[in-house]
Amino acid sequence: MATSKLIPPHGSDKLKILMLEGAEKGAELKRAESLPKVVMSSRETGDLIMLGIGGFTPLDGFMGQKDWKGVCEHMKLANGVFWPIPVTLSHDSKIEPGTDFALISGETNEIMGTMKVTESYQIDKKFECQHVFTTTDDAHPGVKMVMAQKDWNIAGPVKVLSESYFPEKFGDIYQRPAESREIFEEKGWKTIAALQLRNPMHRSHEYLAKIAVEVSDGLYIHQLVGGLKPGDIPADVRVNCINTLVDNYFVKDRVVTGGYPLDMRYAGPREGLLHAVFRQNFGCTHMIIGRDHAGVGDYYGPFDAQEIFFKLWDGALECKMLPIDWTFWCYKCGGMASMKTCPHGKDDRLFLSGTALRKALSEGGDVPAEFSRPEVLKILREYYASLKDEDKVEVKMHGHATGDAKKK
């Protein structure tokens, strides 16, 4: 068998896939039915699936206290391997080591896996939030998520039994690292840039993507299909928008689209690093980092997610950053441009953001033709028109969405 020319998985020479199959899966599922149960949050369930499919290689389960503390403080596991965000499972009481649990999705009540507890420990939640999110403000959705965790964390190796509804609901969009790697191998790609998406692609996203295509063998448009905060556009609508854009405005042989099952943490710079870690596991050599990557509100500077990559130590991460400056539509240039290419002033520029687009559409406002492709706008207008008043969420603007935020 020919040696792979793709980048190796993070911290390992092969994917660590914890998903059981066949008779082994059937036997473990039968055993799980008689075990005590731990009900997982949506975020924990997504993390478990990523452990199962190899997306979180080289982890073998939920983190113990030394790993948790090392990741929070120094972005290192206890063994020295780089990891930027804790992957933990919370429980309401202390558990004796050696205890076996069935892991249950709180959303679907399905048995998702099993876990043998090696450790249970309490954490300082504000300590975690300050290090990971750089804030303890409860208004931050990631902080809110951590503060809502139960009092104890339980750690240990896992066996994963299900990918929940993701394969059925999202079809070919939902991909495992082994599948994306096989596609890249078949195409003969060596350099692959990943574009992270949690919003439908507007013209800035399209511009970033096409810059990446110019300097890489191929582009992996990799969208989150897990949980988002209220007011964000649902995954199925976004998938439809992205597919429509790719079908009409990209060269097919240069783009692969995929989806992954995590919830957003909105951790800004740290989440940008996590995105690069698991994109390496999916086979990508580069991670596109633009303005306010994985941010929320004004908690982070517009390019903090780029700055944190420059601070990594040698050998921390093989997947490299592809940094791209603030992009916008310039009326004088007559097209998309960036701060590096456009000499004109703010009055000549239309700053594009998912927040601004959601706000305009949710309020029934006008959307400039330069903001997004007409095929995409049609899908989004139909989605917002279908919402009942009680389902609508006020979209608040912030400096990163208007061009008012300053580069630190």
Read off the pLDDT of residues 186-231 as tens digits, 9 standing for 90 and up: 999 999 999 998 888 889 899 999 999 999 999 999 999 998 777 7
Distances (CA, A) of 180 to 184, 194, 208, 221, 322: 6, 11, 21, 11, 20
Place of tokens 């008779």: 23
Q: How do residues 349-364 score in pLDDT, each as one tens digit?
A: 998 877 778 778 888 7
pLDDT the model gives residue 393: 53
Instruction: Please give the structure tokens belonging to residue 374.
Output: 């007409």
Catalytic site includes residue 291: no
pLDDT the model gives residue 390: 61
Q: Is the pLDDT of residue 338 over 90?
A: yes
Number of other CB atoms surrounding residue 171 within 10 Å:
10
Q: d(Cα 368, Cα 62) in Å, to the nearest integer?
A: 46
What's the burial of 311, exposed, middle or buried (CB within 10 Å: 0-12/13-18/19+)? exposed
pLDDT the model gives residue 362: 81
Strands 100-105 vs 111-116: parallel, antiparallel or unpaired: antiparallel
Q: Identify the DSSP state of 367.
A: -
Q: Which of 28-42, 271-285, 373-387 has the lowest mean pLDDT?
A: 373-387
For residue 382, which amino acid is it?
Answer: E
What class does CATH assign to 22-164?
A: alpha beta
For residue 405, which amino acid is it?
Answer: A
pLDDT the model gives residue 408: 41
Q: What percent of the chain is predicted at pLDDT more than 90? A: 80
Q: What average pLDDT does the chain have?
A: 92
Q: Is the pLDDT of residue 337 over 90?
A: yes
Burial call 224-257: b when 16+ CB within 10 Å, e when fewer: bbbbbeeebbebebbbbbbebbbeebbeeebbbb
pLDDT the model gives residue 234: 86
CATH 3.10.400.10 range(s) for the chain read 22-164
Q: Is the pLDDT of residue 396 over 80?
A: no
pLDDT band of 1, cuts 50, 70, 90:
very low
Q: How do residues 121-177 score in pLDDT, each as one tens digit?
A: 999 999 999 999 999 999 999 999 999 999 999 999 999 999 999 999 999 899 999
Q: d(Cα 162, Cα 49) in Å, to the nearest integer?
A: 7
Q: Is the pLDDT of residue 50 over 70?
A: yes
Query: Residue range 304-325: average pLDDT?
Result: 97
Place of tokens 């120094």: 74
pLDDT the model gives residue 368: 86
Q: Is the pLDDT of residue 400 over 70?
A: no
Q: Which CATH code fits 171-260+266-408?
A: 3.40.50.620
Catalytic: which of 153, 176, 199, 291? 199
Catalytic: which of 181, 198, 270, 349? 198
More confidently predicted of 381 and 285: 285
pLDDT the model gives residue 401: 46
pLDDT band of 22, cuts 50, 70, 90:
very high
Q: d(Cα 171, Cα 283) in Å, to the nearest integer?
A: 20
pLDDT the model gives residue 160: 98
Beta strands in 230-359 (DSSP E): 255-260, 286-289, 320-323, 327-330, 335-338, 349-351
DSSP lists the bridge partners of residue 194 as 220, 287
CATH 3.40.50.620 range(s) for the chain read 171-260+266-408
